[in-house]
Amino acid sequence: MSTDDPDNDPFRKPPPRDSPGQPPPGSPYGDPPPPPAPGAGGYNSPGAGDYGPGPSAGGYGGGSPYGQNPYGSATGPGDPLAGMAPLAARGKRLLARIIDALLIGIPLGIIAGLAVGFDYDDTNGTFWQGGLYTLVYFVYEGLMLSRSGQTVGKMAMNIRVAMLQDGAVPAGSPAWSRAAVYQLPTLVPCFGSIFWLINVLYCTWDQPFRQCLHDKAARTVVVVA
């Protein structure tokens, strides 16, 4: 046996086996493709997939598809006065009421005095004069607020009554409800005076809209015109 023949050399090392999962050299299928880079897509890529970018990619422009939360963030409520006209100052509201009271009261007082005399010791006559004033003021305020949200006094003070929901004129039922809660309870002896006082003072501690009880009943707010 010739030792020059490499195929017959008993001490020759066998060729190395192919690595598992790797095609043999010269495989007709060629080399396997390299693994995808991180974030390049595919089912196994974090934050991405065949249907577009995942949540981490900001598929809605980096935020909720419904836009800003109008009720504030998760850390607390939004500003309830945002988007509203400025609230009317309490002093201007009081002055507007005084102007309206004089506008109604002075002519009625003169007419009643000429009709039945100016006898202020007549309790019965005073009661009926007060009742007439209440009814006239009720009609006056209901009509004026239904038309523009302003009485003469509110026009002078540059303030107006608006619906709390959307700032609209309180035409119709809200205007009449507001006028009724403000004026009609005064027709009830004793109780009416107490209720009226609580009603008009309520705006001094009510937050955030400074509403009196007649505002709450009609769902209105008084703002700068």
For residue range 34-73, list pLDDT tens digits in order: 665 554 444 444 444 343 333 333 333 333 332 333 333 4
Dist. CA 148–CA 161, nearest whole Å: 8
Whether this model's pTM surpasses 0.75? no
State mean pLDDT over 11-17: 57
Q: How confident is the model at residue 8 (pLDDT cuts 50, 70, 90)?
A: low
DSSP annotation string for 84-121: SPPBPPHHHHHHHHHHHHHHHHHHHHHHHHHHH-S-TT
- Are 92 and 222 a contacting pair, CB within 8 Å? no
pLDDT in tens, 98-109: 999 999 999 988
Q: Please determine, for residue 119, whether its predicted confidence score (pLDDT) is greater than 60.
A: yes
- Are 99 and 153 a contacting pair, CB within 8 Å? yes
What local confidence, expressed as pLDDT, does residue 209 receive? 96
For residues 138, 140, 142, 145, the Cα torsion angle rounded to the nearest 10 degrees is: -140
Task: Tell me what percent of the residues of the chain surpass a pLDDT of 70.
Answer: 60
Rounded to 5 degrees, what are φ and ψ at 153?
-65, -40
Token couple for 41: 């897509």
Q: How confident is the model at residue 142 (pLDDT cuts 50, 70, 90)?
A: very high
- Are 50 and 59 a contacting pair, CB within 8 Å? no
**Average pLDDT, whole number, for the chain?**
76
Higher per-residue pLDDT: 152 or 9 = 152
Token couple for 15: 């060729």
Token couple for 68: 């800003």
Higher per-residue pLDDT: 46 or 130 = 130
* CA-to-CA dists, residue 117 to 96, 103, 111, 122, angstroms: 30, 21, 9, 10
Rounded to 5 degrees, what are φ and ψ at 87?
-65, 145
Please name the residue ranges forming H helices in 19-89: none
Q: Please determine, for residue 128, whether its predicted confidence score (pLDDT) is greater than 80.
A: no
What local confidence, expressed as pLDDT, does residue 11 receive? 59
- Are 222 and 95 a contacting pair, CB within 8 Å? no
Higher per-residue pLDDT: 18 or 195 = 195
Q: How confident is the model at residue 79 (pLDDT cuts 50, 70, 90)?
A: confident
What local confidence, expressed as pLDDT, does residue 73 receive? 40
User: 70-102: b or e for each residue (b if 16 or more CB lie within 10 Å)?
Assistant: eeeeeeeeeeeeeebeebbeeebbebbbebbee
What local confidence, expressed as pLDDT, does residue 153 receive? 97
What local confidence, expressed as pLDDT, does residue 183 receive? 94
